[in-house]
Amino acid sequence: MIKIFRKSESGATLVEYGVALIMAIAVGGTALISLGNQTGANMSAACATMQAGGVISANC
Protein backbone atom coordinates (compact mmCIF):
# COMPACT_ATOMS: atom_id res chain seq x y z
CA MET A 1 0.00 0.00 0.00
CA ILE A 2 2.85 2.38 0.80
CA LYS A 3 4.42 1.63 -2.57
CA ILE A 4 1.22 2.72 -4.27
CA PHE A 5 1.26 6.05 -2.43
CA ARG A 6 4.91 6.61 -3.34
CA LYS A 7 4.21 6.16 -7.04
CA SER A 8 0.94 8.04 -6.99
CA GLU A 9 0.40 11.67 -6.03
CA SER A 10 -2.69 10.82 -4.01
CA GLY A 11 -0.48 10.21 -0.98
CA ALA A 12 0.82 13.77 -1.16
CA THR A 13 -2.73 15.02 -1.56
CA LEU A 14 -3.76 13.09 1.52
CA VAL A 15 -0.99 14.73 3.53
CA GLU A 16 -1.99 18.16 2.21
CA TYR A 17 -5.59 17.59 3.26
CA GLY A 18 -4.40 16.46 6.68
CA VAL A 19 -2.30 19.60 7.13
CA ALA A 20 -5.19 21.79 5.94
CA LEU A 21 -7.54 20.07 8.39
CA ILE A 22 -5.16 20.59 11.30
CA MET A 23 -4.75 24.26 10.38
CA ALA A 24 -8.52 24.74 10.10
CA ILE A 25 -9.06 23.16 13.51
CA ALA A 26 -6.36 25.34 15.07
CA VAL A 27 -7.71 28.56 13.55
CA GLY A 28 -11.31 27.66 14.39
CA GLY A 29 -10.45 26.75 17.96
CA THR A 30 -8.52 29.98 18.45
CA ALA A 31 -11.41 32.00 17.03
CA LEU A 32 -13.94 30.29 19.30
CA ILE A 33 -11.81 30.82 22.40
CA SER A 34 -11.35 34.50 21.52
CA LEU A 35 -15.06 34.92 20.87
CA GLY A 36 -15.92 33.26 24.17
CA ASN A 37 -13.53 35.48 26.11
CA GLN A 38 -14.89 38.63 24.46
CA THR A 39 -18.48 37.55 25.12
CA GLY A 40 -17.68 36.97 28.80
CA ALA A 41 -16.09 40.40 29.07
CA ASN A 42 -19.12 42.04 27.42
CA MET A 43 -21.52 40.26 29.77
CA SER A 44 -19.50 41.33 32.82
CA ALA A 45 -19.45 44.93 31.61
CA ALA A 46 -23.21 44.88 30.98
CA CYS A 47 -23.83 43.44 34.44
CA ALA A 48 -21.67 46.12 36.08
CA THR A 49 -23.48 48.86 34.15
CA MET A 50 -26.90 47.55 35.18
CA GLN A 51 -25.81 47.30 38.82
CA ALA A 52 -24.43 50.86 38.75
CA GLY A 53 -27.68 52.14 37.22
CA GLY A 54 -29.82 50.42 39.83
CA VAL A 55 -31.51 48.17 37.31
CA ILE A 56 -30.47 45.04 39.19
CA SER A 57 -29.22 44.60 42.71
CA ALA A 58 -28.10 40.94 42.69
CA ASN A 59 -24.83 39.59 41.39
CA CYS A 60 -24.86 38.42 37.80
Return the CA Rg of the chain: 24
Per residue in 1-52, pLDDT (tens digit) is 556 655 666 666 888 999 999 999 999 999 999 999 999 999 999 999 998 9
Is the distance from CB of 51 to CB of 57 less than 8 angstroms? yes
Nearest residue to 42 via CA among 60, 22, 56: 60
Q: 26 versus 53: which is more confidently predicted? A: 26
- pLDDT reading at 54 higher than 60: yes
Three-state SS at 56: coil
pTM exceeds 0.75 for this model: no
Per-residue model confidence (pLDDT) at position 6: 59
